Amino acid sequence: MPYVPQYLAKYLGQAHITIDVSSMSLSLQVNGRHHATYPCAVGKPSTPSPVGSWQIAVKTVGPSWEVLGTRWMGLNVPWGNYGIHGTNAPWSIGRQISNGCIRMHNENAEEVFDLVAVGTPVDIAGSYGASSGALRLGATGQAVVELQNRLILLGYLTGFSDGVFGISTDAAVRRFQASNGLVADGIAGPLTRRALGMW
């Protein structure tokens, strides 16, 4: 285990991770105090990192797939297999290059791994922009997160954005459409998304 400052030793597991996709950095807080900021690689625009609030769901030492480096911290994103991990391609750090995962230098991933626990909150901030296609019941992904965020902001949806276009999101879209003179079909197409201010 890497050196842990004395003030952190009794707080192991009381951590919070924040990832900024625009600056390609990962910040770690322990017990409310900033511990370190690390450079990272994030998803490319065609396969963006999942913006939102997640948790570490699983931790693995020495993952079997070598491109994941020496550590894997899987996130509870409902529409895909995303995580924070090391890399066998250190040249990729500081780039928008992955399929959505957060890559770190192996030594940094190992340090973070030892200071977090399953359940640690992970906030990924930033925006890649919504895709231009229509969103409807059953859709998943980053564009749905952005749609839900707009509906929550405008008061049509309660709860949190999970990236899954389910029944509650469908009902919220219909309410928004009916309130704004649009066809209330529950499909977030170009007119609805423009009215929501997503473009």
* Cα separation, 85 vs 105, whole angstroms: 8
Length of the chain: 199
Q: Please state, in angstroms and rounded to a whole number, the distance separating the CA atoms of residues 113 and 72.
A: 8
The residue annotated as part of the active site, out of 16, 35, 101, 105, is: 101
Backbone angles phi, psi at 67, to 5 degrees: -65, -15
Q: Catalytic site residue 35?
A: no
Work out the angle at residue 161's Cα, subtended by the Cα atoms of residues 111 and 135, and round it to the nearest 5 degrees. 125
Bridge partners (DSSP) of residue 61 are 71
Choose the catalytic residue: 34, 40, 85, 105: 85
- The reply to whether 85 belongs to the active site is yes
Q: For tokens 């749609």, name the residue.
A: 147
Q: Angle formed by the axes of helices 167-179 and 142-153, to 10°?
A: 50
CB distance 168 to 183 below 8 Å = no
Residues annotated as catalytic are 85, 101
